[in-house]
Every structure is written in C-alpha cells, then in structure tokens.
Amino acid sequence: MSAAETLAQTLLAQMQDAGAQLVSADILQPAETLLDLYGEDIRARAYVTHDPALGEMMLRPDFTVPVVQAHMQGGAEPARYCYAGPVFRKQDQGRAREYLQVGYEVFARDNPARADAEVFAHFAQLLSGYDLRPVTGDIGILKAAVAGLDTSARRRAALMRHIWRPKRFRALLERMGGQGPLAAPRADLLRALQDAPPEQAGPVVGLRSKDEIAARIAALIEDAATPPLPASQIAAVEAVLNLRGSARDVARDLRAQGWDALTPALDRLEARLDALQDAGIDTASLPFEASFGRTTMEYYDGFVFGFIADRADLPPVATGGRYDALTAVLGQGRAIPAVGGVIRPDSLIALGLIAPGGGA
C-alpha cells in the first residue's frame, strides 16, 4: 500500500468513528448524468469511453454523483457517508491524472447550519496536523444578491445561470446596464428584428421551431423595454463579489449595506458561524472570500470551503460545500439538503505533517 493509500485508510477510519457509513462507487459511471450536470466541459476533464451495451461511460471524475444517487435509492435520514478511492481527471500538463479522494458527506433535513459546521469542523480536525490555510465562502449570498436585483425575472435568471462563469456574468451585467461590447450588436439585432420578419431570412431547418424563435424575439423586445440596471446595483453586486476578510467582519459589512434581499442569506451565514463557533472553530479569524468556489465548484449552492497549502505546485488539499440543488436534480424531484467534502491524501503526503506524531 502506498503512503497515500495508508493515509486514506486512516482518514476513512476516523470518518467512520465520527459515525459515517462506508460506501463504494463504480469507477465506470454513465456519462449522461455527468454531462447533464457539468455540461460539455466535463468531456475535456474526464476520461470518456464507450461500452457496446451501456453506451458512453466515464471514469469517475468524483464521488459526489454516485454517492448522492446511492442515497436517493434508499438511504436513511439523516445519513453520513464516507468513501475513498481513485478519481480520474485529464490534465494537459504535469498534474496527476489519477489520484485518491477521501470524502465525507452529510444528508440531513434539519439545521443546515449545524450540518455545515459539523463537516467543516470534522475536516479541520482531520487536517489539524498540516500547515493549511482554511477558506470559506457562501454561494448562497451571491445568489441572494442576484435574486435581489431590481430588474426583470428574465434578467435575474440569466445572471443566476452564469454565476459560475465570471466573464459572462460580467458581460451580462454590463449589457443590462446598457454598456459594454455586447450592447451595440444587441441594438443592431433589435433593429433588424423590427425591420424583417423571420420567414424572409431563410427556411426553418432543424429542430428549433418557428415558435421558439418567435418566443425569443418577444423576449428580446421585452428585454429592450426593460430599464437599464442602475449602476448602483451593479456596483452593489460587484462589492459583494469582492468581499473578503474574516467571516464575522464580512457578515457585519454585508449587514451594514442594508440590502434587504440579502437578509435571509445573512441570517443563514450567521447561524452557520454560530454553529462553527460551537463546534470549536474561531470564527473571528476564519477567512471568508465571497467569490471562493465561484469558478471551480459549479454544483455548490451554499456554504463552500477549502483547505489550501501555500505551495504553487499543490491543488487545494481539501474542498467541499453544500449542494442542495444537485440532490434535487439527481433525485428527479426528491431532494435532500446535503453538504460534504473531499481530501486529497497525495497532497497531504507531499506536504508532510507539521510535527511528527501530531495531528491526523
């Protein structure tokens, strides 16, 4: 057994001691579910293969999907699961293509703040022997900021869909504010739509119907009549995105903005911080970055966290968060609040313990 495999077993045993049930997952996963969740990008990151009977399959890029599926097929509630095994990711450069993940997931309906705190505190304890910097964030606050914008439902939905794609998110914000490079072509397009009916442009080929085209034209014209997003609101969203500091300070600063739409999300943040404090985490010094997880963790929709080594050659040693919406998608209507995370034992081995005999 390699050092990383031995460490994985040690971590797994500690997770089981904490009450988690050990689960396993197939290495070969149906591609369709992963593609639906992650989009086409996953093809660039996961190894895709083909089975004559089952169709397109992927070497598991993570455990989250199979663990959620297993839970949905008849897990108890609440449930705690742990697992360990290799995951597979394509890399253009030198990083490992196959590496171990050890994970811990909590599925619980009651008291999400306590479940968040439980997972984070457990990871902090498992990793206490290593020189790591914790980071936390909250995608729920970003979503609340978007939901609280004073504009059309259509615009809010468009922004919400692209929270995880910062470049497009910014382009959309600019266009909705009546500025940016997208504004001019959009004005041209509207003029063209008003001048020439679609039938003149060419025959409707393909599956997208004339009705669908007409519906989008109506949406575009409605959107053109929507007043520009006020600069103050764009600034407010960007201020939220740029917030970083200690978690308590960030929570206080956000409250001070007096933005009512954020209140429920801030209540949840503070309940989580209280729960973390109860679990022995010093929340006065706990780092919080509002944009943490924004580009890399698409399915998280609430609390997010990472444990990071200050070494350029190492990816985050541990990452995790809350993914309530994912369970709804995978459960086809049935949903259960879920929070969890993974540790990369290989990175811990590369890093080494702070002091022999200490920590994990």
Q: 74 vs 203, which CB is nearer to other proteins?
A: 203
Contacts of 181 (CB under 8 A, 6+ apart): 171, 174
Beta carbon nearer to other proteins, 155 or 272: 155
Select 193 or 351, whichever has its Cβ closest to other proteins.
193
Element (H, E) at 305: strand 303-308
Interacting residue with other proteins among 96, 108, 204, 328 (CB under 8 A): 204
Q: Does 182 bind other proteins (CB under 8 A)?
A: yes
Residue 312, C-beta contacts closer than 8 angstroms, at least 6 positions apart:
none
And the tokens for 283?
């929340």
Closest to 138 measured CA to CA, from 284, 290, 326, 296: 290
Residues 209-238 that bind other proteins (CB under 8 A): 210, 212-213, 215-217, 220
Smallest distance from the beta carbon of 203 to other proteins, in angstroms? 5
Coil/strand/helix, residue 51: strand
CB of 218 to other proteins, least distance (A): 10
- Distance, in Å, from the CA atom of 317 to the CA atom of 127, rounded to the nearest integer, reads 9
Q: Which of the residues 75 through 94 are near other proteins (CB under 8 A)?
A: 92-93
Instruction: Write down the least CB distance from residue 185 to other proteins, Å.
Output: 5
Confirm or reject binding of residue 192 to other proteins (CB under 8 A).
yes
Are 77 and 108 spatial neighbours (Cβ–Cβ below 8 Å)?
yes
Q: How far is the CB of 182 from other proteins (least distance, A)?
A: 5
As measured in angstroms, the least distance from the Cβ of 173 to other proteins is 12
| Strand segments (E) across 46-112 | 48-51, 55-59, 79-88, 98-107
97: contact with other proteins by CB under 8 A: no
Q: Are 319 and 306 in contact (CB under 8 A)?
A: yes
Closest to 107 in 3D by CA, of 335, 344, 342: 335
Q: Which residues bind other proteins (CB under 8 A)?
A: 35-36, 39-41, 43-44, 92-93, 158, 161-162, 165, 167-169, 171, 175, 182, 185-186, 188-189, 192-193, 196, 198-199, 201-208, 210, 212-213, 215-217, 220
